[in-house]
A and B are shown apart, each in its own frame.
Chain A
């Protein structure tokens, strides 16, 4: 079964405490992306990766880092989280850039 797995699903943390949200896919797709979803703002792309070791900024990259050391994993790193990063985060995978996206179940992050 094709899967995009995110962890953790829920996290409450405090300002400044580094955290990582993991994303793993079993579809052997090259394209992976991170989005945040906020009420009234829709989905906004944070970072994306066209392939291993290739990452690019999306629309809202400030305060985030990513890495793509292997094809199946694309972790999202918040080095020093702030309350404005409280959001619902989605990892998404596609066979090609601009193609159908397969989303993970989401990670709800609260930064106090």
Chain B
């Protein structure tokens, strides 16, 4: 059974601080997707990383795919209250997605 372990499960920090969310697996993925979900809505794709070692930036969010394509991280610089939400990672393998359990992020003003 393929697993994608996401950590931390919950994070509450002050506005302006930095944070990192991790997704780790023993399996190799062809790509890894990061989604963000707000209350009352479905998840929305933020980014897909495909190449080992790839780094993608989306304003204050930096996504990295591990060299071996088994892990990924999401780093947020100078978090804002608008970053509050549930962040989900999903690894693509054999034409299916393996989901992490999610990180609930709360940014306090």
From residue B62, how far is it (CB to closest CB) to chain A in Å? 20
> When the two chains form their complex, are residues B44 and A98 in contact, meaning their CB atoms are under 8 A apart?
no
> Count of A residues near B, CB < 8 Å?
20
Contacting residues, chain B, for A105 (C-beta < 8 A) = 40-42
Using known A-B contacts A41-B101, A97-B95, A98-B95, determine if residue A92 contacts B88 with beta carbons closer than 8 Å: no
Partner of B92, one of A45, A92, A98: A98
Contacting residues, chain A, for B90 (C-beta < 8 A) = 101
Cα-based distance from A106 to B37 in the complex (angstroms) = 11
> When the two chains form their complex, are residues B41 and A106 in contact, meaning their CB atoms are under 8 A apart?
yes
> Count of B residues near A, CB < 8 Å?
25
Per DSSP, are chain A's interface residues mostly helix, strand or loop, or mixed? loop
From residue B41, how far is it (CB to closest CB) to chain A in Å? 6
- Residue A100 is within 8 A (CB to CB) of chain B in the complex: yes
Partner of A101, one of B6, B30, B45, B93: B45
Contacting residues, chain B, for A103 (C-beta < 8 A) = 42-44
Cα-based distance from A105 to B92 in the complex (angstroms) = 23
Query: Most chain-A Cβ atoms within 10 A of its Cβ — which of B31, B40, B41, B99?
Result: B99
Using known A-B contacts A100-B48, A105-B42, determine if residue A42 contacts B102 with beta carbons closer than 8 Å: yes
- Residue A47 is within 8 A (CB to CB) of chain B in the complex: no
> When the two chains form their complex, are residues A42 and B95 in contact, meaning their CB atoms are under 8 A apart?
no
- Residue B100 is within 8 A (CB to CB) of chain A in the complex: yes
Using known A-B contacts A98-B30, A98-B92, determine if residue A104 contacts B42 with beta carbons closer than 8 Å: yes
- Residue A19 is within 8 A (CB to CB) of chain B in the complex: no
Contact code string A42-60 (vs B, CB < 8 Å = 1, else 0): 1111000000000000000
- For the complex with contacts A43-B102, A100-B48, 6 further pairs of A-B residues with Cβ separation under 8 Å are A43-B88, A44-B99, A101-B33, A103-B42, A103-B43, A105-B40
